[in-house]
């Protein structure tokens, strides 16, 4: 059956300008970090991708190592693009990254020019495209001069293999230096992709200010704190949850009694607004317009539909924001 995109795909989604650039991203983007690998069901991944596009998600975020196995998420997306989304390529923002281990030997990891550009070529083949819209340095390399890594990003744009460049997991200080170098190279930084959620607010300690100063966008990954900010953990740790399994991204040790107290209090606020906890957390991440887009993951279509529905709720009042801060900063002994 030939896929035809929904005619009303742009009616409900909100699109935010990326810093001072000419590009806009959907307020909610889809990340293919988990559940789109070679070990996962292709048809489920395809359904999530095309349903996302029908709901106005135009941005699909990948990396060379997403899977498992590494590279298989790009291959899956490439298959869906060729089969279903090829007529809509110019409506899509496809991003990928390089920075983590991909192949044996000294040239298959980190941030050297050799690795970054070889990895990009491999990603383009897996995706079946001539260029990606955004190419990221996935993490800073302590052993490679920043000038070399940023030079590789700039070369990717000059060669026509990427339209924009981004950073992920860089500190405020590293980001400031990268901005300076990229400006000198004539390829300004478009976007930074940091972790950010109600339970992980490190970007408020300098990074967000640096991005605002230079007119650079941000896209928050793990806005639901690897599932902690969903209904899944309200009554403890289910046996089939990520926290109970071998995942290194979310360990059982993070779900402490204190964390559960905060999550349950936030959930009470969400319910009073007619929202799920996940919707509440996404709306908070996007509050005030500082974060360009919230990057969600999903294992089924219904989760994507639930998350996008967050955009239909009213923004938080100052009183609600103050109450959220009280929940997050009141210790267990004080109640709350």
Q: Map out the domains of the chain as residue ranges.
A: 15-334
Q: Which residues of 96-134 are buried (b: 16+ CB within 10 A; e: fewer)?
A: bbbbbebeeeeebbbbbbebbbbbbebbbebbebebbbb
Per-residue pLDDT of the chain (336 residues; tens, 9 = 90+): 899 999 999 999 999 999 999 999 999 999 999 999 999 999 999 999 999 999 999 999 999 999 999 999 999 999 999 999 999 999 999 999 999 999 999 999 999 999 999 999 999 999 999 999 999 999 999 999 999 999 999 999 999 999 999 999 999 999 999 999 999 999 999 999 999 999 999 999 999 999 999 999 999 999 999 999 999 889 876 656 555 555 555 555 578 899 999 999 999 999 999 999 999 999 999 999 999 999 999 999 999 999 999 999 999 999 999 999 999 997 643 333
CA distance 296 to 220: 9
pTM above 0.85, yes or no: yes
Would you give the distance in Å from CA 316 to the centre of its chain?
23
CA distance 84 to 46: 9
Residue 68: cis peptide before it, omega within 30 degrees of 0: yes
pLDDT of residue 255: 81
Nearest CA among 306, 250, 253, 247 for reference residue 281: 306
CA distance 165 to 23: 12
CA 139 vs CA 91, 101, 166, 193, 207: distances in Å: 28, 11, 11, 10, 15
Q: Is 335 left (phi over 0), alpha (psi -120 to 50) or beta?
A: left
pLDDT of residue 204: 98
With beta carbons less than 8 A apart as the criterion, state whether 55 and 304 touch.
Answer: yes
pLDDT of residue 242: 56
pLDDT of residue 233: 85
Give the HSE-up count for residue 297: Cα atoms under 13 Å, Cβ half-sphere: 22
pLDDT of residue 244: 53
Give the HSE-up count for residue 126: Cα atoms under 13 Å, Cβ half-sphere: 26
> Tokens representing 187?
């390829």
pLDDT of residue 335: 38
pLDDT of residue 330: 78
Task: Name the H helices within 64-186.
Answer: 72-80, 113-127, 146-158, 172-184
Locate tokens 């793990």: which residue? Answer: 222
Nearest CA among 201, 213, 144, 143 for reference residue 175: 213
Nearest CA among 131, 132, 150 for reference residue 140: 150
Residue 295 bridge partners (DSSP): 29, 221
Nearest CA among 168, 176, 181, 180 for reference residue 141: 168
With beta carbons less than 8 A apart as the criterion, state whether 292 and 14 touch.
Answer: no
Architecture label for domain 15-334: Alpha-Beta Barrel (3.20)
């Amino acid at each position: 059956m030939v896929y035809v995109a929904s005619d009303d795909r742009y009616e409900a989604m909100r699109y935010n300008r990326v810093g001072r650039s000419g590009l806009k991203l959907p307020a909610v983007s889809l990340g293919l970090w988990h559940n789109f690998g070679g070990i996962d069901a292709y048809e489920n991944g395809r359904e999530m991708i095309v349903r996302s596009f029908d709901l106005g998600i135009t941005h699909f975020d990948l990396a060379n190592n997403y899977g498992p196995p590494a590279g298989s998420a790009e291959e899956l997306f490439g298959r869906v693009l060729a089969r279903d989304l090829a007529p809509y390529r110019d409506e899509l923002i496809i991003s990928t990254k390089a920075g983590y281990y991909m192949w044996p030997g000294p040239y298959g990891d980190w941030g050297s020019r050799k690795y970054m550009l070889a990895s990009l070529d491999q990603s383009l083949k897996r995706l079946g495209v001539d260029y990606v819209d955004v190419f990221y340095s996935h993490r800073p390399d302590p052993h490679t001069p920043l000038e070399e890594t940023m030079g590789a990003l700039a070369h990717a744009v000059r060669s026509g293999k990427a339209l924009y460049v981004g950073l992920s997991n860089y500190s405020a200080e590293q980001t400031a230096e990268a901005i300076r170098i990229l400006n000198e190279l004539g390829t300004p930084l478009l976007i930074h992709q940091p972790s950010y959620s109600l339970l992980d607010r490190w970007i408020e300690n300098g990074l967000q200010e640096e991005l605002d100063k230079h007119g650079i966008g941000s896209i928050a990954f793990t806005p639901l704190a690897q599932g902690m900010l969903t209904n899944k953990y309200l009554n403890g740790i289910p046996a089939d949850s990520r926290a109970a399994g071998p995942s290194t991204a979310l360990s059982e040790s993070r779900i402490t009694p204190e964390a559960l107290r905060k999550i349950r209090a936030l959930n009470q606020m969400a319910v009073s607004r007619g929202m799920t906890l996940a919707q509440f957390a996404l709306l908070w991440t996007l509050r005030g317009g500082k974060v360009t887009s919230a990057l969600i993951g999903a294992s089924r279509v219904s989760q994507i539909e639930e998350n996008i529905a967050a955009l239909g709720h009213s923004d938080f009042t100052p009183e609600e924001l103050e109450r959220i801060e009280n929940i997050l900063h009141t210790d267990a002994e004080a109640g709350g």
